[in-house]
A and B are shown apart, each in its own frame.
Chain A
Amino acid sequence: MKKINNIINGIMTLLFSMSLIQSVNAQEENLSLLHVQDQVYMLYGADVNITVQIGENSLVFVDSPDPAIIPAMMAMIREVSDRPVHYLITTHLDPLHVAGNEIIETLGDNSGVGIFRPDSSVAVGGASAGVTILSHENVLNRFYLTENDIPSLTITNTYYSKKKDFFENDEAIIVYHMPNAHTDGDSIVYFRNSDVISTGDIFTPGLYPDIDLELGGSINGLIDALNFILDLIVPGPFAEGGTYVVPGHGRIGDEIDVVEYRNMVYIVRNRIKNLMENGANLEDVLASDPTFDYDTEYGGVRGGPSNIEFIRSVYLSLQRDME
């Protein structure tokens, strides 16, 4: 019996490995490096969008992908630039967005002489291999203080005020903390000269927002964050272009794309809030189907949270605010 179990386990492991390989191959086939504006590019086609500022001095990443596709990603980038990585900004604690941190760290100026930090999971306020990996302090706090499915996390510097800024490739780069939005450690990254904002999972066109209540996310914080992004954006003439936005998932957008997304989140929040103010419990709210008219556009057909998961997170977030 044990032998049969071992065989079945072996087959399952093999199938799982094959599916992972297929997944990586599929991702590699779909990968494209899209020029967003000026110095900023977006790697599209992986499980998560990766923003890359490609300048004369260095590469600056926002989020890192699955390590298995980093060689393919770097091959595309190397067609444009041979510069080392100087910065990686982690927008929030999410296995999809931090998976490649450790490998990106090896692509800095000192990559040939090794990494000198003894424990790659500890923030040390510096960059041993010439790569600063930056996140909000709450990313690290949540990694250590909450249960999560991330085996290790490479962060070399954190900030805990409203923003952190630095200058790289002749461009001001401003990292803003968006409190209690998707999580409580969300950052958005504004490339000021290129006029591009990388939003992490605060803005995910075509997907309902994933409000992670366990990690400190909230519906009202999410709406505040979307409104903050809209305040930063200056559209081009006739509501087109100007500041471009790289979302955590989905296509490149500009102001109107964020407006449509914010409107959806705002309207659904108001419907659920109204139901709750009239005594509805979670079952009542789910039964009223408050996202009905948005489900085809956002409701999980491309992945992301289902309508039920979204409604539930909004309800619980509002309930927490009312208590």
Chain B
Amino acid sequence: MKNLTLNKSLLILSITLLSSISIAQEVDFSGEWRPLFHEDAPERGPGPHFGDFTALPINDEARMRGESYQPDRISVVTEYICRPHGADYSMRGLSYMRVQRETDPRSQQVVAFKTRMGWNNMERTIWLDGRAHPPAGTAHTFQGFSTGVWNGNILTITTTHLKESYHRRNGIPSSSERTFTEHWMLHDNYLTVVTVIDDPVFFTEPLVRTQDWVYDPSFRIDFFNCDYSEELPINPDNLVPNYLPGENPYLTEFAENYRLPMKGVSGGAETMYPEFRKNMGPLIGDAQFCSTEECD
């Protein structure tokens, strides 16, 4: 009787273990994914307003970088023209995404997911075979180095070795020391990706965002080509457009046009939370682009 109980227990344990392994590997993100833009559409589509640093946990250094940034820089400095997004930002872009599953031909275990975005040929490998991240001193890349582990049917990805890039496309920089964690979750035909970015140089606390995708087998990614063009007839001094401290005339434009508090649009961790509304300071401007009752 005892043996029977023991055998039953072992059987249940085995089934549980096997099923959990099975569940972990059943999730296949392969396929073609169309991004949904119901979150942060104005920022992710046409791009952020100049001086809109709202809801980013930036420190004073990042804010000063944003305030001295001139948008001309990304065209005058020709090296920027074909620059792709960083891997953390690329998940928020306009691009479709293709995910492919790589399997080891012998073990048939999944060793990696490969992603490709529809803009600037951004390709990324998410290793699932337990390999270590590269040593210090190696080159960083825009897509970084990613490894993933399963937490049940959620894929948790850690990415390091990123190049300096941007948290927001209006001059808020992201450092090459940042890392980010993603949690990929599948709900029927919808993929939700939670991104947690740690930037010890420019953030005072992590930035948490989500992106959603819908399965769309009808689309195809074309090859993307990019060649830089010189947009100034001459640039003898290798100009790097920037505003001197205190001389950027456009910093209040966003707050004024939407009748917002300057304290809010200047960003900082406190601006990420609802409680900020209690102490956000006076609204400014004529609400030129404001269309809600709250602006009146």
List the interface of chain A (C-beta within 8 A of B).
Answer: 32, 34, 42, 44-45, 205, 223, 227, 230, 235, 237-240, 244, 251-257, 259-260, 262-263, 266-267, 270-271, 274, 288, 290, 292-297
Contact = CB atoms under 8 A, between A and B. Distances in A.
B64 interface: yes
Given A240-B141, A251-B139, A296 B240 contact: no
Nearest to A263: B240
B79 A235 contact: yes
Nearest to B121: A238
A255 B164 CA distance: 12
B80 A267 contact: no
A216 to B, nearest CB: 22
Given A238-B120, A238-B226, A240-B142, A274 B84 contact: no
A293 B38 CA distance: 33
Interface string B108-138: 0000000000001110000000000001111
A283 B286 CA distance: 42
Contacts of A251: 136-140
Contacts of A237: 82, 121, 226
Contacts of A266: 238, 240
Given A259-B80, A293-B64, 6 more contacts: A205-B176, A235-B82, A238-B84, A239-B83, A296-B59, A297-B61
11 contacts: A32-B135, A45-B137, A238-B82, A238-B120, A239-B82, A260-B164, A263-B73, A267-B240, A292-B60, A293-B62, A297-B201
A23 B230 CA distance: 49
A295 B240 contact: no
Contacts of A44: 135-137
Contacts of B138: 34, 251-252
A256 B137 contact: no
A255 to B, nearest CB: 6
A292 B122 CA distance: 33
Interface of A is mostly: helix
Interface of B is mostly: loop
Interface in B121-176: 121-122, 135-142, 163-164, 175-176
Residue from B73, B136, B200 with most neighbouring chain A CB atoms (10 Å): B136
A4 to B, nearest CB: 45
Interface in B206-232: 226
A203 to B, nearest CB: 13
A274 B140 CA distance: 34
A144 B140 CA distance: 40
Interface in B37-95: 59-62, 64-65, 68, 73, 77, 79-80, 82-84
Contact of B61 (A32, A263, A295): A295
Nearest to A252: B139
Closest 5 CB pairs of A and B: A44-B137, A293-B64, A252-B139, A239-B83, A293-B61
B1 interface: no
Given A294-B61, A297-B175, A257 B135 contact: no
Contacts, number: 100
Contacts of B83: 238-239, 256
Nearest to B81: A239
B234 interface: no
A257 B137 contact: no
B84 A240 contact: yes
Given A238-B120, A239-B84, A274-B244, A256 B139 contact: no
B84 A256 contact: no
A32 B238 CA distance: 36
Contact of B137 (A227, A238, A252, A254): A252
B77 A259 contact: yes
B242 interface: yes
A296 B242 CA distance: 20
A198 to B, nearest CB: 14
A227 B79 contact: no
A267 B136 contact: no
Contacts of B105: none
A270 B244 contact: yes
A255 B61 contact: no
B245 interface: yes
B139 A244 contact: yes
Contacts of A257: 140, 163-164, 176
Given A239-B80, A256-B79, A256-B83, A296 B141 contact: no
A295 B122 CA distance: 31
A42 B137 CA distance: 9
A256 to B, nearest CB: 6
B128 to A, nearest CB: 24
A254 B202 CA distance: 22
A253 B82 CA distance: 17
A227 to B, nearest CB: 5
A262 B240 contact: yes
Contacts of A259: 77, 79-80
A293 B65 contact: yes
